[in-house]
Structure 1
Amino acid sequence: MPSSRNTAFQYKSSKWIILCVFGCLISAPSLAETSGAREPDPSEIFAPLLLPDAPTVYRSGDGTPGPMAWKNQADYRIHVQILPEKHLLSGQEEVRYQNNSPSTLPVLWVQLDQNIYKPDSRAAFASQWHFPDHTSGMTIKNITVSDLKGKKQPVQFQISDTRLQIVLPEALKPHSKIRLQINWDYTVPGPWGGRTAVSQSRNGEIYEIAQFYPRMAVFDDIRGWDTLPYLGDEFYLDYGNIDYDVTVPDNFIVAASGALLNPQAVLSPLERARLQAARLSEKRVLIRTQSDAENAAHHASTKTRTWHFLMQNTRDVAFVTSPALLWDAARLDLPPISPAPGHPVEARLAMSVYPIEAAGPQAWDRSTEYVKHTIEYFSHEWYMYPWPNAVNVGGHGAAMEYPGIVFDGMKDRDAKLFWITTHELGHSWFPMIVGSNERRNGFMDEGFNTFIDALASLHFNKGEFAPKHDGEYAPDTGKPADDIVKILMDPVYGPIITPSPLGSKGDRHAIPYFKAAYGLELLRSQILGPERFDRAFRHYIEVWAYRHPTPSDFFRLMNSDAGEDLSWFWRGWYFRTWFPDYAIEDVKYTSDAKLKITILNKGWLPLPVTVLEKWTDGTTTSVRIPTEVWSSGNRHTLEIPSSRSIAAVIIDPDHAIPDVNRSNNEFSATGRPTQ
């Protein structure tokens, strides 16, 4: 998501704080280091790095899941109804929870995200979100549990802010199942609701419904139950199958995560025919036209329809419903899948739904084109998209992602619409497929996703919207290596991985989005090269798909697969706020016809760097200095045999690395370098 969500990896466990006492290993940077007042110390820069999470039988030393890795599973059967006259959502769900862990669970924890809107919620005091109004949150009517034979009994439960604890009558043993039945309702917030909202369009209200049902918290091998309160950031969920019904007035349509299982019951014969035509078309086909939406908006509804969806192997679902939506779709050029057991194998669809005021040749008329490119390109480059459809919603502008569906703004257009569509759908891979913990390690979804977004911008339509400048890379000079220098030099910005429970001050967007993304770009283009990086990155996605990796897992896998000990880079870029700073100290000829160029390392993050030599005869040569050179000291002399006369020497001529002081990076024969 973009920065307007004020998301961040803000919340770290005490483990991070404890490990930070190990001094140079991962301790917080001193002002002397970040300002350059203290000379870089190779013994600190290249020291072994103690990662926060040690290898276990559940997580291997090569960064892959261990031989005894496990994950719990939560399957849902959900029924919800929207009552527009009251802006009320009511629901019933059955959760089939499988405890695959080696632990016995006396309690279960459930997330109630709608409680964020209560006037006394923690978010009302502690988060960056400010609501002009409040709701009463989720009303839990009753909870029962049942065994596999169907015997039900009520349970004790306690609500604490956005969490609900269920005390089980009998502890859930390892490798056993339990069923929960929960009834609830809540008032849908207005457009200020953000992650779930109702907003007005020309032809009626649009309900963007997400985080709408009680969702099981994650029990994992790192912390047990992960029960951070919801403060408006994002979420951490287990995987399962979600079978759900949405009942709405019969003039509404519903677009949702997963496959629509009952098109015969909710779509007209003409709409079904258009939908089938879209499965064969590379260009968008209008399923619901402007006149269809206008007719629906003026139709006085007295009946309801129930739309039935299934989303398999997912961590969440969301949906949008309204009488005001246009709907178009086109074929996804991916292997077809069966939307559910017993259903025919079908071509998959890129889809868009949006109100009439969003339509236009450079606006939402192109949305499905962008959806199609995003899903196909990322499937080809990184990992196959697993779900039947991908839906882009033009609503009030939450800019928020869920598996199979994303909520964007009806006013988005031109490059902004391309960038926001690509970014939100890119989250299908991080964290919807690779299920990292967004609330604790936001850089593992926002930064990783921003990185692949930038590559997608270069790829789309011969770079029509490249390079990416949607606020993810900011400020905007067109050279990310120079743009990020301000962030690297400003002490307001903390490390990507910070021990603070509330994150660093300043614009949180700069760190988990921009700096984290640019770190991967440095790895790919400057340290490992695209071939090694891409192979390792694909392996990371493959082995952690539908699992829960930590930063330590990612660092270890990249080390192992790339064949490098990257401790110096992880420490400097992720755990500290270090940066590169090179300078030319001297350029001279020796008596034996050698040009000697002395380079100083003045920064604590010595990235590989290119030194360019320009000769007076118009030719050029270059030397690549690897990082290991600086393990023995901060001064290195290049000796270049040559009988030619030197005209100039330039460090990093292409601005490929974020050297924080370029005033001393050039030497010319008519003057001396600035030191």
Structure 2
Amino acid sequence: MKRIYCTLLVCLMGFASFAQEAEPNNQDKFDDFMYRRGNVYRAASGVPGPEYWQNGADYVIEAELDDVNNILKGKLTMTYHNNSPQDLDFVWMYVEQNRFTPDSRGTLTTPIAGNRYSGDTDGGLKISKLAANSGGKESNRYLITDTRMQVFFDKPIAAKGGKGTVSMDFEFKIPQEGMDRMGQYKTKEGVTYSMAQWYPRAAVYDDVVGWNTEPYLGAGEFYVEYGNFDYKVTVPYNYIVVGSGELINPKDVLTKEEVNRLEKAAASDKTVYIISPKEAGNTSVTRPIQNGKLTWHFKMENTRDVAFAAAKNFIWDAAKINLPSGKKAMAQSVYTKESDGDKAWGRSTEYTKASIEHYSKMWYEYPYPNAVNVASNAGGMEYPGVSFCHARSREADLWDVTDHEFGHNWFPMIVGSNERRYAWMDEGFNTFINYYSTVNFNNGEYTSDVAKSRNRVMWFRWSGRESVSTYPDVAKSMNLAYTAYYKPATGLIMLREYILGHDRFDNAFKTYVNKWAFKHPQPSDFYNCMENVAGENLNWFWKGWFVGNGNVNLAVTNVSQYDNDSTIITFANKGDIPMPVVFKVIYDDNSTEIRTLPVEVWQRGNEWKYLLKSPKKVKIVDIDPGRFLPDIDGTDNSWIKEEQK
């Protein structure tokens, strides 16, 4: 033993100088980066586990619009379903109209100069007659903290199927500026009310953090439970109301001619007027009564939210949506004369129809009966079955915002991720699918620059950039478009077009959508699902692109003749993120071929020599010929033979 020990010691001393000079490998770039192990609730394969559960909430709501004082009053009964393994002594609800007060957290964290999410500060929600019951005595105890309300029960809601009800009256002043999400749009002939975040609603209780109670500040959007909605909106007789879900009493609130036109639109691929531009605002033609009030009754099933809009002077048109299963839905648009025109909102229904049909065919069938686009004060905001897009949008801008907001019906309305924490899981995924929808629309009428990753290289180089994983309310305003929208979308396009290919990516992504439809996935569920279905360890990609803040920087550094039948091409990874090397070779005879080196060439180091076996002489080597990589230095992506330069 002593002899072996001494020999080993001498050997180690002899190699000491080499150890000091040794370069580390790149193992850390390929290692696990977060806890992604499965359990009975969430399987390691990225799908819901055998004991996955989620709670739910059903709502019955009666609301009335006071257009003189700009107030909405309502009565609500929520039935809460506790499917969790724990008894619940209370439920948390969101009361997001409290954002519009001078001392709300959202107001106090808005910069003095304001931003997109500035809003009115003279509002707030009033609650009265609250009663909670889960089988014990009725409880009236609740606490409101900013945009959250905690409702207590006398007896806990039982685990694994228990129910509790919460009823209350509520009232609030409708903000004019609703943080670019809702509010009032004033026209010559009246006000368009875009109504969202308009009733108290249940926060999510899940198996990851328990109650999700992040306050409503601004950029962070929503995370709410699924359920069934039965809601009524009472308005002065001269108003038209559109809303999420299905209008179940059209004969009570529409003229016979309007009902007939809706039926015609339901069978027409071309847009049909329900209320024409000449008829808009003419109550003698558009209203079944000429005084008093009308109550519009809507229902929607298995949805996380509902929204509605109301105005006296809507133009209203509609057309049929054809779904892959053979089912039909209806695309609708409401707008005023200020927004009308063949280059403006006159094409809104065409855009809505095309968007819904494309996403239904490519990813998952649209589950709701209607898709309604509203010309609004909001620049662009999505709710299940209803979108608010700016009334002044037109041409390519109107297509883009319409397509984007209706794309949100897939993320996060169908796939119910937590927008308040992980904006990239709805905005980024949606921006990704928008690229393909735009390319597909009307033989490429409008172009999309989402895939033009090199257009964004300046931001990727910027020292003030932030990671995709940055929470939306934390991200700097100038970064949010990149962290939530462009960078994750660019990453998914890279994954589909450059790394996995269409078949493997689509199989994995469709599995993710199908398995998590109407459920609550976490980032780890997405990562695990994509890897398991695609059959690829993508730690290096998630870690580098979605969690880290580094960049892609591949290079071809040398091309040299090895012998008469082969050439050595030397590649380098100068960036922080390893990446497969897809490259195009052009020979002296102008023939070409595409070859690919796997990402594993970078596991041991940052240089790789590739032996290209061909008797032909190489004229050009070009990395990423499809230009899908946001390589921060494009000057070294190509090698050109000297005489060709």
Same fold (TM over 0.5): yes
Deviation at 1:172, TM superposition (A): 1.4
Q: How does 1:334-353 map to 2 (within 5 A)?
A: 334=323, 347-353=328-334
Partner SS for 1:571:
helix
Structure 2 vs 1, CA of residues 97 and 132 (structure 1 numbering), >3 Å: closer, same or farther?
A: closer
Quote the Cα distance in structure 2 between the aligned partners of 1:451 and 1:619: 34
Q: How far is 1:130 from its partner?
A: 5.8
Please tell me whether the aligned partners of residues 609 and 657 of structure 1 are also in contact (alpha carbons under 8 angstroms).
no
1:396-545 maps to which residues of 2 (within 5 A)? Answer: 396-466=377-447, 468-469=448-449, 473=450, 480-498=452-470, 502-503=474-475, 506-545=478-517
Match of 1:634 among 606, 610, 619: 606
**8 Å Cα contact 2:585/2:592 also seen in 1:** yes
Shift of 1:46: 1.7
Aligned equivalents of 2:248, 2:624: Cα separation in 1? 57
Aligned to 1:7: none
CA distance, structure 1, for counterparts of residue 273 and residue 75 of structure 2: 34
CA, structure 1 residues 92+500, in 2 after alignment: closer, same or farther (shift >3 Å)? closer
Number of the residue aligned with 2:14: none
Name the residue aligned to 1:189. Answer: 175
Matches of residues 571-650 of structure 1 in structure 2 within 5 Å? 571-591=543-563, 593-650=565-622
Q: 1:507 is paired with a residue of what secondary structure?
A: helix
Whose radius of gyration is greater, 1 or 2?
Answer: 2
> Structure 1 residues 265 and 552, CA, compared in 2 at 3 Å: closer, same or farther?
same
Partners of 1:463 and 1:400 in 2: CA distance: 25
Q: Which residue of 1 aligns with 2:129?
A: 142
Superposed displacement of residue 450, structure 1: 0.4
Q: Secondary structure at the match of 2:377?
A: strand
Q: Which residue of 2 aligns with 1:104?
A: 87
Deviations 1:441-463 (A, max 9, x none): 00000000000000000111111
Q: Structure 1 pair 619/85, CA: closer, same or farther in 2 (3 Å)?
A: same
**Residue 263 (structure 2) aligns with:** 276
Q: Which residue identity does 1:322 align to in structure 2? A: A
C-alpha change, 1:646 and 1:252, in structure 2 (3 Å) is same
Displacement of 1:309: 0.3
* Residue aligning to 1:178: 164
Aligned to 1:15: none
Q: Aligned partners of 2:340 and 2:368: how far apart in 1?
A: 27
What residue is the counterpart of 2:20 in the other structure? none
Amino acid at match of 1:385: Y
Matched, 1:296 2:268: no
Note if contact 2:105-2:217 (Cα within 8 Å) is conserved in structure 1: yes
Matches of 1:415 and 1:435, distance apart in 2? 29
Q: Secondary structure at the match of 2:122?
A: coil
CA contact (8 A) 1:616 1:647 kept: yes
Deviations 1:38-60 (A, max 9, x none): x994121122x142454221000
Q: Which amino acid aligns with 1:454?
A: Y
Distance 1:421 1:253, change over 3 A: same
Relative contact order, CA 8 A, sep 6+: which one is greater? 1
Structure 2: unaligned runs, 5 residues or longer: 1-22
**Is residue 41–residue 604 contact of structure 1 (8 Å, CA) maintained in 2?**
no
TM-aligned CA deviation for residue 129 of structure 1? 5.2
Task: Give 1:647 deviation, angstroms.
Answer: 2.6
Q: Could you tell me how far apart the structure 2 residues matched to 1:499 and 1:274 are?
A: 46
Aligned partner of 1:327 in structure 2 is 316
- Give 1:314's aligned residue: 303
Q: What is residue 28 of structure 2 aligned with on the other side? A: 44
Q: Tell me what 1:391 maps to.
A: 372
* Matching residue of 1:230: 216
Q: What is residue 355 of structure 2 aligned with on the other side? A: 374
Per the TM alignment, residue 418 of structure 1 is displaced from its structure 2 partner at its CA by 0.7
Cα shift at 1:335: 7.0
- Give the counterpart of 2:272 among 285, 304, 318: 285
2:147 corresponds to 1:159: no
SS at match of 1:393: strand
Q: Structure 2 residue aligned with 1:121, among 67, 87, 104?
A: 104
Distance 2:60 2:86 in 1: 26
The residue that corresponds to 1:18 in the other structure is none
Residue by residue, what CA displacement relative to the aligned partner does 1:227-271 show, whole Å, maximum 9, x if unpaired? 000012311000000000000000101000000111111011111
Letter in 2 for 1:364: W
Match of 2:196 in 1: 210
Task: Quote the residue 1:80 is aligned against.
Answer: 63
C-alpha deviations, 1:520-560, integer Å up to 9, x for none?
Answer: 10110111100111111111011101100000000000010
Q: Who is 2:16 aligned against?
A: none
* 8 A contact 1:123–1:129 mirrored in 2: no
Partner of 1:247: 234
| Partner SS state of residue 291, structure 1 | coil
Which position in structure 1 is the counterpart of 2:206? 220
Aligned 8 A contact 1:296 1:324 in 2:
no
- Decide which moves more: 547-556 or 193-202: 193-202
Instruction: Give the distance between the partners of 1:585 and 1:293, measured in 2 at CA.
Output: 67
SS at 2:446 equivalent: coil
User: Which residue identity lines up with residue 236 of structure 2 in the other structure?
Assistant: P
Is the contact made by 2:79 and 2:164 (CA closer than 8 Å) also made in structure 1?
Answer: yes
Worse-matched range after superposition: 484-493 or 106-115: 484-493
- Segment of structure 1 superposing worse, 494-503 or 449-458: 494-503
**TM-score normalized by structure 2?**
0.91
Contact 1:141 1:183 in 2 (8 A): yes
How far off its partner does 1:173 sit? 1.7
Q: Report the AA paired with residue 95 of structure 1.
A: M
Preserved CA contact (<8 Å) 1:493 1:505: no
Measured in 2, the distance between the counterparts of 1:538 and 1:304 equals 46
**Take 2:265 and 2:615, find their aligned partners in 1: how far apart are those partners?**
68
Quote the Cα distance in structure 2 between the aligned partners of 1:391 and 1:161.
31
Q: Is the 8 A contact 2:323 2:361 kept in 1?
A: no
Answer whether contact 1:252 1:323 (CA < 8 A) is retained. yes
What is the TM-score with the length of structure 1 in the denominator? 0.87
Count of residue pairs the alignment pairs up:
616
Decide whether the 8 Å contact of 2:137 with 2:154 is kept in 1.
Answer: no
Any idea what SS the aligned residue of 1:534 has?
helix
Three-state SS of the structure 1 residue aligned to 2:257 is: helix
Q: Which amino acid aligns with 2:154?
A: P
**Structure 1, unaligned stretches of length 5 or more?**
1-38, 338-345, 474-478
Deviations 1:338-382 (A, max 9, x none): xxxxxxxx9421100001111101111111111111111111111
Say if 1:494 and 1:505, in contact at 8 Å, map to a contact too: no
